Amino acid sequence: MKKRGLGSSFGGLISPIATSAAELQEVPVAAINPNPNQPRVAFDEQALAELAASIKEHGVLQPLVVTRLNSHTYQLIAGERRLRAAKLSGLELVPVVIKEVSPQQQLELALIENIQRADLDPIEEARAYAVLEEQFALTQGAIAQRVGKSRATISETLSLLKLPHDVQVLVSAGRLTAGHASTLVPLRNPDKISQTAREIVEQGLSVRKAEQYVAQLQGQQAVGKEIAPVKPRSPHSAQPATPEDEVIVKALEERLEGKRVELIRLGRGGRLVIHFDNEEMLSSLYDLLTK
């Protein structure tokens, strides 16, 4: 008797794309091909093993989304982690929703699923946007509308692909945030970008300090001079920043997708300043703060 892949309580957990119970079927795991447009490259092996153990115990609670290739085979649209975990668990049948979609829609659905689950690292996300832009001729505004983000955020994410490969690796590994990486783009020189990225990581600079350091480097590049990293001083009327303040600033900058933040202590109070360079960044900031 074949192992069943459908959990007993899947009904309330079906993805919004599964609009009708009549569309739900069970198909062999071996009959499902991976999505060639899957934007996610790296998968956490430990998390997959944990999901596989859960699937072995409870079944697949949320159906995969597939499109039919022929009478016997399907191509995955959404649910890569669940498919991999189902294979690890030894499951033979999995619940699926069959949809007829274009290659562009396949990529969009896989991208949106991963973004909603926060599964993509910034470089994977940027590459997916690049495919939508280059292969499917979507504007950055159209991409933003489809994935529910601002155009400024899409533009900033795509700019990460201009960075040297070794810097992109740092971002994918989580050693350098997207906010830090974005500050490096204006340097243009690949060797200088790589060197500066390493310095930012080694010194543990906040996004704000990284931005200031890069601005210094740009100024010195214009006259052909070299400088050493210099930590900016607080205004004379302000109290020195504490380690706790730096932690707060760094957390805020990451939460605000790399926007520069200043925390200035003045007596018992102070000021919290969020910087923006143009109207698009202001619009992006507004979207983040009003979610």
Residues that are catalytic: 80
- What type of residue sits at position 108? E
CB 90 within 8 A of CB 120: no
Length of the chain counted residue by residue = 291
Q: Which two tokens stand for residue 151?
A: 């155009």
Residues 65 and 15: their CA atoms lie apart, in Å, by 9
What residue spans of 25-79 are helical by DSSP H? 45-58
Nearest to 141 by CA among 133, 151, 131: 151
Residues 263 and 239: their CA atoms lie apart, in Å, by 10
CB 93 within 8 A of CB 28: yes
What is the side-by-side strand order in the sheet with 24-28?
24-28, 93-98, 64-68, 74-78, 32-33
Q: Which residues pair with 95 in a beta bridge?
A: 26
Q: Which two tokens stand for residue 45?
A: 């092996």
Cα–Cα–Cα angle for 193, 197, 198, nearest 5°? 120
* Helix, strand, or coil (residue 95): strand
Q: Which two tokens stand for residue 33?
A: 């091909």
Residues 203 and 52: their CA atoms lie apart, in Å, by 39
Tokens 């003045």 sit on residue: 266
Which distant-in-sequence residues (6+ apart) come within 8 Å of 108 by Cβ?
132, 146, 147
